[in-house]
Amino acid sequence: MGREGSWGDLSPGDLVIGSVYVHAPFCARRCFYCDFAVAVRRSGEPQSWAEAIGKELEILGAEGLAPLAPSLATVYVGGGTPSLLGPTAMDRLRRALGPGRLEHPELEWTSEANPESLTLDVAEQWRRAGLTRLSLGIQSFHEGTLRWMGRLHGAGGARSAVAAARHAGFENLSADLIFGLPSFLDRSWRTDLEATVALGVTHISLYGLTAEPDTPLGRSVRKGRTRIADEDRYREEYLEAHRFLTQEGFVHYEVSNFALPGFESRHNLAYWDGSPYLGLGNSSHSFLPPIRRWNLRAWDAYLERVHEGRLPVEDSEVVRGEAAQLEALWLGLRTSRGIPRDQLGSPAACALVAAWEAKGLASPVGPRIVLTPEGWLLLDRLAVELSEALPTRTTA
């Protein structure tokens, strides 16, 4: 440690981390479109998982590289399928993270779950362990679509999972939906939106289907066997979701996320405002500005490394200068807070934003510039354009 791009370049007192992401890689089956770091298992491995997370945190602490707050603000368990780890998983994680770290009265502790493995027992024991929020991978209510994607639950499974979560005492529930699906599936996007709202969830995340190269879907598209939605259909379904969900009282607070007022994901907001965060588990990322690093992708390689008492880091980078400027713009523009207008430090940038506003891609909200839904569809391109129009910062 101690080289450029490592946390050894920072003293432990530089920053305190209040948000932690924990990866749970296990899935009973890999979905047709999935490119995530998963380990296919019939069931999860809760004991070895929690022990490995605790071991990684212990190694980080011994090297002075995990300046965690005594009481964390947010914890997010993602996957994979965390619910495959079973009812004891969150209690094991609580112990792995250390005494007192999950005791703050305003802690937001989220875990993802799939409907087929979120039983009432799992939901109740997770709630007793202190979990405050569930994110359910519903994706669709259309039976043919669920089968095509390789999902293990049907439409009834989503409703049963929400009922179990409510019975266990969860009030903060998020649902994931996928849009931009192939037309041959004959899925009604509006029907899926209506069914999700009818469940009474407080948060909805949208994901546009993409054909990642190394997935079965990507290979099928490459061979001409499958055609995913074209740009026009992708755009129309995204804008339809915006219109419908905002009419139903949801706030479109980030490019892909909608929440009833007060139910925004505080963990994700920490990512988007540039706060430091720690990632634990295989493939997880950590950010202690200006350094970002990420762990080994494969579960078995990660597990071997931590049991050897070595950090499971795959690589790292320093985010400074042009890269930091572009990232700050991209993160700011992706939320409904936008960016301060006084950040426009050049006539070229002011002219560019004025052109966006004239085209309906951005709108002034007080002293800030906020992209419209039409602008969010072009987020990556607009962030690059604005960064190129601004004077480059020389520091992070």
Q: Helix, strand, or coil here: 293?
A: strand
Sheet holding 362-365, edge to edge: 339-340, 368-371, 362-365
DSSP 8-state assignment for residue 391: P
CA angle 90, 91, 92 (to 5 degrees): 90
The pLDDT value given to residue 127? 98
Can you tell me whether residue 227 is helix, strand or coil? coil
88-102 burial code (b ≥16 CB/10 A, e <16): ebbbbbbebbeeebb
pTM of the model: 0.94
Considering only residues 84 and 343, tell me which one the structure prediction assigns the higher pLDDT. Answer: 84
Average pLDDT, stretch 14-39?
89
Whole-angstrom Cα Rg for the chain: 21
Which tokens belong to 228? Answer: 């995913």
Binning pLDDT at 50, 70 and 90, where does residue 292 land?
Answer: very high
> What percent of the chain clears pLDDT 70, i.e. is strictly above it?
95
Residues 6+ apart with CB under 8 A from 138: 115, 158, 175, 176, 177, 196
Per-residue pLDDT of 309-325, as tens digits, reads: 999 999 999 999 999 99
Q: Which amino acid is at 295?
A: N
111-161: per-residue pLDDT in tens?
999 999 999 999 999 999 999 999 999 999 999 999 999 999 999 999 999
pLDDT confidence bin for 168, thresholds 50/70/90: very high
For residues 276 and 293, the answer to whether their CB atoms sit within 8 Å is: no
Answer for the pair 245, 252: CB distance below 8 angstroms, yes or no: yes
pLDDT of residue 65: 83
pLDDT, position 35: 86
The dihedral built from the CA positions of residue 189, 194, 200 and 202, taken in this order, carries a sign that is positive
Say which range, 30-34, 309-313, 365-369, has the weakest mean pLDDT: 30-34
pLDDT at 34: 86
**Residue 4 predicted with pLDDT over 70:** no
Mean per-residue pLDDT over the chain, rounded: 93
What does the pLDDT average to over 252-265?
Answer: 98
Residue 41: the pLDDT is 87
For helices 347-358 and 379-389, the axis angle rounded to 10 degrees is 150
Scanning the structure block, which residue is given the tokens 């963990």? 267
What lies within 8 Å, CB to CB, of 110 at 6+ separation is 74, 75, 76, 77, 131, 132, 133, 134, 135, 174, 265, 267
Instruction: Answer for the pair 311, 303: CB distance below 8 angstroms, yes or no.
Output: no
Q: Is the pLDDT of residue 210 over 70?
A: yes
User: Phi then psi for 33, rounded to 5 degrees?
Assistant: -105, 0
Structural domains of the chain in order of their starting residue, each with its CATH number: 7-272 (3.80.30.20), 321-396 (1.10.10)
Tell whether the model's pLDDT for residue 162 goes beyond 90. yes
pLDDT at 91 over 80: yes
Residue 393 has what pLDDT? 61
pLDDT of residue 14: 57
In this structure, the number of other CB atoms found within 10 A of the CB of residue 186 comes to 10
pLDDT tens, residue by residue, 264-289: 999 999 999 999 999 999 999 999 99
What value does the mean pLDDT take over residues 73-96? 97
- Residues across the chain: 396
Sign of torsion over alpha carbons 115, 125, 276, 260? positive
Confidence of residue 64 (pLDDT cuts 50, 70, 90): confident
- Count of C-beta atoms within a 10 Å radius of residue 73: 17
Would you say residue 10 has pLDDT above 50? no
